[in-house]
Amino acid sequence: MVDTTNPQSQPHRKCQHPECSEKRVFKTDSAFRKHVDKHTRPYKCPIIGCKAKDFSNAGDLRRHHREVHTSPAFACPVVACKRHRKGFGRKDNLMQHLQRTHGEDVIGSSLASNSTTHGNSEDITSPNRESSMASESGNSAADDMETFTPDSSQKAFVIAKLQELEALKKEAIAKFDGDIAAFKKVLSYL
């Protein structure tokens, strides 16, 4: 047993690594081991084929595993964004992405508003670019129905148009549900 009250009984805790620039004597075994681990990097990723360098502490290895090898828990709420599917391993990375890529409009926007992102003409929650552009130009489904010629079958045209609108409605509802769920998830992180 080492007598900690007698300085001469302290073991030699000076790094002997040839490339080490620190020439100090470490006061505790744990500080010395932590320093030596910077050189030996004993924590290796167990995933076969992982190209990451070895780590000097267990915390860095855990963070690497969480960020690189686990499925992302934090997805971007902007459906058109590649990070909507790819996501992020950490909440703070998502928040930085939202501010850097989409601006504060995405973070601060309410679900009811139709704010755009950095001048894009397509709304985040737009179910269909063509239908949103048609509504902006003043053309509605009723306007389209007036364009058929008297020779065409009115009933067939109306049925086809109705089916098209019902399909668009289903798409829009599914998209809105996805956007709402994504924004609720982001809101839970704030």
Same domain (yes/no): 87, 65:
no
Is 131 inside a domain boundary?
Answer: yes
Pair (178, 108) in one structural domain: yes
Same domain (yes/no): 95, 156: yes
Residues contacting 140, CB < 8 A, separation 6+: 134
Identify whether residues 95 and 56 lie together within a single domain: no
Residue 144 has what DSSP assignment? H
* CB-CB neighbours of 76 under 10 Å: 23
Which residue type occupies 104? E
Task: Say yes or no: 96 and 182 in one domain.
Answer: yes
Same domain, 89 and 176: yes
Q: Same domain for 108 and 48? A: no
pTM of the model: 0.38
- 141 lies in the same domain as 89: yes
What is the span of the domain harbouring residue 43? 7-69
Domain for residue 2, yes or no? no
**What are the Cα distances from residue 164, in Å, to 8, 124, 126, 127, 174?**
89, 22, 17, 14, 16
- The alpha carbon dihedral of 175, 177, 178, 182 has a sign of positive
| Domain-embedded: residue 1 | no
Task: Note down pLDDT in tens along the chain; length 190 residues.
Answer: 444 444 444 567 888 888 888 888 889 999 998 888 988 889 999 989 999 999 999 999 998 888 788 776 788 888 888 888 888 878 888 889 988 888 755 555 433 333 333 333 333 333 333 333 334 344 444 444 444 444 445 566 677 677 878 888 888 888 888 888 888 888 887 7
